[in-house]
Structure 1
Amino acid sequence: MKKIAPLLSIVFTVYLGFGQQMVLPKGKVIDSLKIHDSIPGTYSLYLPKNFETSKKWPLLFVFDFDGEPECLTASFVPAVEEEGYVLATLALSDTVSLTNNMIKTGKALERVAKTLPINTSRIYTSGKNSGARYASLTPIFLKGVQGIISINASIVNTELLNAKKPFHYVGVVQEDSYVYSEMLGTQKVLNRYKFPNQVLIVDKEENDLAKPYLKKAMQIFTLSAMGKGWTIKDSVYIENLYQKDVLKVSQLKAKGQLILAEQYLKELFSIYGIHKNLDSLRGVQRELRKDRTFKAMKRAENSTFFKESLLKEDFAYYMDEDVRTHNFNNLGWWNYQMNEIDKFINGPNIHEKKMGNRLKGYVNALAEDTIDLVSSEELVDEDALAFLYMLKTLTAPQDFDYYLNIISLSAKNEDFGTSLFYLEEALKKGFKDTEKLYGLENTALLRINPKFNSLMAKYLKESRYEINEE
């Protein structure tokens, strides 16, 4: 028994029926678990090191649309380990219909719930960007999902919300993310529907969302579950978290981050109201809202939000118009706008700095979504695509894939002048991947062009074809 006991402490055996069994190690990511015999695809699983079958466990199901489920899983592991959640990760594709993705998700959730001792009142979903947008739909289409952790994304369609079927929404976002103001708007809608919700705003210097914001989101779910009787109430746990949160408010105030302090303070009422008398906290809130510096900051932020909304409307209108009319002449206007955004980012006004970062993210996301839309058409509008690729070289000048895209597309249409122009622009900005360049689709004729080889020799000291111009 002395040799067997340590092994039992790190593995867990489940029986799948018909004599089948599977050994699941604790504290280790288990990949390639089959969803269902009739459903293609697999999911991964992580059991905390203290996992045992004598209790019911909350489940967090995370969705990946970026082809990097391992990275996403790794970012969640520290938080689920500390807070005692079972973690499952499912890779999905945006080329598959929503219906098929939901069927796969439902089967995967069912599989985990039947395999492990899961508290079915405590099933939550999460994701980042596209994965978060998808996660926001799961409580609407699947039974049993009680809440979502949405990282850097708002709810896809608030019109689908049903006041009779509420779920708990916890958003995690940075102030300079282009979805920041959108997520604050989503929170207002959820408040009208009386859905429990919090938005956790990440300090700019804290880029690792697993520390501490994913952990905080899970703590919020645990506190809510204690209040609803879905899990045993732990007064010591509640008090410890409360004191840490009150301290965080004080720290934000001490650093002069009064807007963040007020936002965080506001969330504490919805988190702890069911557990504690919060009269003292209301006094702190009243004093903060009377503070002249806070009032000035809030006015400046609101003014910036208004300016940002007008600029977003302009960008959305002109992008749609320019793509539809193939208005290449308006690229100069877009270049001017990006320079103006850079002035915001590099200027002294802290609110405009954040606005500038949000606007840059918005324009890039809008362009990428439009590229996806144009590319998905049965008959692709190549002129529209060319405009968008050129636009992306202005909005994201260090993303060389768009230079390569326009080089390839122009060469396909034997517009070698455009191909050579964007080749030199990429080389000027530091592009050095010769293998990728020489393997670029549609560029066989371009590569034997003397000007192409001249540019390669000038910037990369390499020219594979020696062509004499006559």
Structure 2
Amino acid sequence: MLRYIILLSICVNTFAQTYETGKLIDSILVSDKSKETFAIYLPSAFDANVTSPIVFIFDPGAEGKRGIQQFIKASEIYGYILVCSNHTKNGPYDRNFDITNRLFEFMFANFKIKQDQIYLSGFSGGSRLASAIAVLTNQVAGVVGCGAGFSLESSHVPSTQSFAYAGVCGDRDMNYQEMIRAKGYLQKLNFTNTLITYDGHHSWTPPDQILRAFDWLEIQAHLQGIRKKDDSEIYKNYQKVYNTALEAQEEGDLLIAVENYERALTTYNSFYKLDSIVDKLKVIRKSKEYKNLLKSVSKAFDKEVTLTKKFTTRLFEDYKKPDKIDLSWWEKELGKLEKLDEKEDPQTKKMLERLRFQIFAVAHSMNNPNLYQSNQKQKELTKKIRKLIYP
């Protein structure tokens, strides 16, 4: 993987000068042989004669334009070239690695890329692919993982520090718990990482949240001496994190407040004296409101694990024997979720939203020919279950 970077980065031609800047361009051909295409966005200030940082983006459904759209705001601020394949998608890793290698070969042969500012990002399965490539290549500066953590393949999971990792996830995303566990795992490794959460479900991360991730990565690049920032830019980024925490605290969203106060401390403690933030965190953590909130979150998480196992186990059992399915079980158990949802506890409501989508996503994945070889009855079964979840 990425074997082409060193060899071809010096062989740049005038190809990069042929594309309009500030415009999302779709379906550029990688080669006549492969017939693979990708989407690209060159920031308005792009100069083909100057090396540029780059973000390779992976969309789980192989929709290059959809993947790039969320990153344009960050691209215009930080000058990233954005690239997203129209062929990598949820499925076998080896297939995606081959497609990605051909895309790397094309980009590094035709564009001047900053070797120390190569970033990868993706959503859901694309996020897992991005982190896997970063681990296997050891030539990536950072990863923005949206809505999912790491591949289940152990060789794809980071074990030593080789890049910075910014996780981004909505608190109603089915992989919310997974992202929190990934953060804990990386912290045990003393791996440079952060987790940015927001009010959202399992869909491509909004542009403002993507920008927050790259604000953080840019500070990491500054700390490593890769990309020098002036004092005003550093302070501006610090203020964004601090203000997010302060607003969340004022609105009573203590999870977001603590998350951002902690990020402000760990990211900017070498620049400023932040005793006031330390004091704010002490006050929040000692409060009865925060302690009760943590109990509610923990209770919801435990319930989510139990229910996820219950529904997915039943789904796989029914999938194996679609002729003997009893839809009344599904109607009854999903009805219980509706009654549970009537409770006013917001953490329970978020948990149920995550759970429903998780079941739906597993059922939907069973129709992916790259993952399952489903017969017609199995396809009909999963369709019926999805319909029961979201009528």
TM range (shorter): 0.7 to 0.9
1:387 equivalent to 2:381? Answer yes
Equivalent position of 2:249 in the other structure? 253
For 1:299 and 1:320, locate their aligned partners in 2 and report how far apart those are by CA, in whole Å.
Answer: 32
Q: TM-score, normalised by structure 1?
A: 0.74
DSSP 3-state at the match of 2:173: coil
Cα deviation for residue 213 of structure 1 reads 0.4
Q: Using a 3 Å threshold, how does the CA distance of structure 1 residues 376 and 312 change in structure 2: closer, same or farther?
A: closer
For 2:164 and 2:340, locate their aligned partners in 1 and report how far apart those are by CA, in whole Å.
Answer: 36
Equivalent position of 2:100 in the other structure? 105
For 2:33 and 2:57, locate their aligned partners in 1 and report how far apart those are by CA, in whole Å.
Answer: 22
For 1:93 and 1:45, locate their aligned partners in 2 and report how far apart those are by CA, in whole Å.
Answer: 15
In the TM superposition, what whole-angstrom CA distance separates every residue of 1:182-232 from its partner, at most 9, and x where no partner exists? 111111112222222212112249x98434101111111111000001111
Q: Using a 3 Å threshold, how does the CA distance of structure 1 residues 179 and 287 change in structure 2: closer, same or farther?
A: same
Equivalent position of 2:344 in the other structure? 348
1:124 equivalent to 2:119? Answer yes
Q: Using a 3 Å threshold, how does the CA distance of structure 1 residues 374 and 203 change in structure 2: closer, same or farther?
A: closer
- Whether the aligned pair in 2 keeps the contact of 1:60 and 1:124 (CA below 8 Å) is yes
Cα deviation for residue 274 of structure 1 reads 4.4
Question: What is the correspondence of 1:248-397 to structure 2 with a 5 Å cutoff?
Answer: 248-326=244-322, 328-372=324-368, 376-377=372-373, 380-397=374-391
DSSP 3-state at the match of 1:216: helix
In the TM superposition, what whole-angstrom CA distance separates every residue of 1:340-363 from its partner, at most 9, and x where no partner exists? 222333431111111110111111
For 1:180 and 1:261, locate their aligned partners in 2 and report how far apart those are by CA, in whole Å.
Answer: 17
Cα deviation for residue 56 of structure 1 reads 3.5
Identical amino acids, percent of aligned pairs: 23
Equivalent position of 1:32 in the other structure? 27
1:179 equivalent to 2:153? Answer no
Question: What is the correspondence of 1:223-238 to structure 2 with a 5 Å cutoff?
Answer: 223-238=219-234
Equivalent position of 2:7 in the other structure? none
- Whether the aligned pair in 2 keeps the contact of 1:63 and 1:126 (CA below 8 Å) is yes
For 2:58 and 2:158, locate their aligned partners in 1 and report how far apart those are by CA, in whole Å.
Answer: 23
In the TM superposition, what whole-angstrom CA distance separates every residue of 1:402-436 from its partner, at most 9, and x where no partner exists? xxxxxxxxxxxxxxxxxxxxxxxxxxxxxxxxxxx
Equivalent position of 1:63 in the other structure? 58
* 2:166 partner letter: V
DSSP 3-state at the match of 2:289: helix
Equivalent position of 1:82 in the other structure? 77
Where in structure 2 are there 5+ consecutive unaligned residues? 1-9
- Whether the aligned pair in 1 keeps the contact of 2:169 and 2:200 (CA below 8 Å) is no
- Whether the aligned pair in 2 keeps the contact of 1:227 and 1:233 (CA below 8 Å) is no
DSSP 3-state at the match of 1:59: strand
Cα deviation for residue 330 of structure 1 reads 3.1
In the TM superposition, what whole-angstrom CA distance separates every residue of 1:382-413 from its partner, at most 9, and x where no partner exists? 4444432322221222xxxxxxxxxxxxxxxx
For 2:381 and 2:370, locate their aligned partners in 1 and report how far apart those are by CA, in whole Å.
Answer: 11
Cα deviation for residue 294 of structure 1 reads 0.6
* 1:390 partner letter: K
DSSP 3-state at the match of 2:326: helix
* 2:132 partner letter: L
* 2:87 partner letter: L
Equivalent position of 1:48 in the other structure? 43
1:136 equivalent to 2:131? Answer yes
Equivalent position of 1:220 in the other structure? 216
* 1:136 partner letter: S
* 1:389 partner letter: K
* 1:52 partner letter: D
- Whether the aligned pair in 2 keeps the contact of 1:364 and 1:392 (CA below 8 Å) is yes
Greater shift, 313-322 or 159-168, is seen at 159-168
Where in structure 1 are there 5+ consecutive unaligned residues? 1-13, 398-470
CA-based RMSD of the aligned residues comes to 2.8
Higher relative contact order (CA 8 A, sep 6+): 2
In the TM superposition, what whole-angstrom CA distance separates every residue of 1:20-48 from its partner, at most 9, and x where no partner exists? 78522221223333334654312222221
- Whether the aligned pair in 1 keeps the contact of 2:160 and 2:191 (CA below 8 Å) is no
Q: Using a 3 Å threshold, how does the CA distance of structure 1 residues 300 and 72 change in structure 2: closer, same or farther?
A: same
Cα deviation for residue 266 of structure 1 reads 2.3
- Whether the aligned pair in 2 keeps the contact of 1:28 and 1:46 (CA below 8 Å) is yes
Q: Using a 3 Å threshold, how does the CA distance of structure 1 residues 346 and 92 change in structure 2: closer, same or farther?
A: farther
Greater shift, 144-153 or 364-373, is seen at 364-373
Q: Using a 3 Å threshold, how does the CA distance of structure 1 residues 199 and 103 change in structure 2: closer, same or farther?
A: same
Equivalent position of 2:143 in the other structure? 148
Cα deviation for residue 94 of structure 1 reads 4.1
Cα deviation for residue 261 of structure 1 reads 1.1
Equivalent position of 1:465 in the other structure? none
- Whether the aligned pair in 2 keeps the contact of 1:30 and 1:44 (CA below 8 Å) is yes
- Whether the aligned pair in 1 keeps the contact of 2:12 and 2:108 (CA below 8 Å) is no
1:244 equivalent to 2:272? Answer no
DSSP 3-state at the match of 2:149: coil
Greater shift, 227-236 or 50-59, is seen at 50-59
Q: Using a 3 Å threshold, how does the CA distance of structure 1 residues 375 and 231 change in structure 2: closer, same or farther?
A: closer
Question: What is the correspondence of 1:416-455 to structure 2 with a 5 Å cutoff?
Answer: none
Q: TM-score, normalised by structure 2?
A: 0.87
Cα deviation for residue 233 of structure 1 reads 3.0
1:199 equivalent to 2:195? Answer yes
For 2:256 and 2:390, locate their aligned partners in 1 and report how far apart those are by CA, in whole Å.
Answer: 29
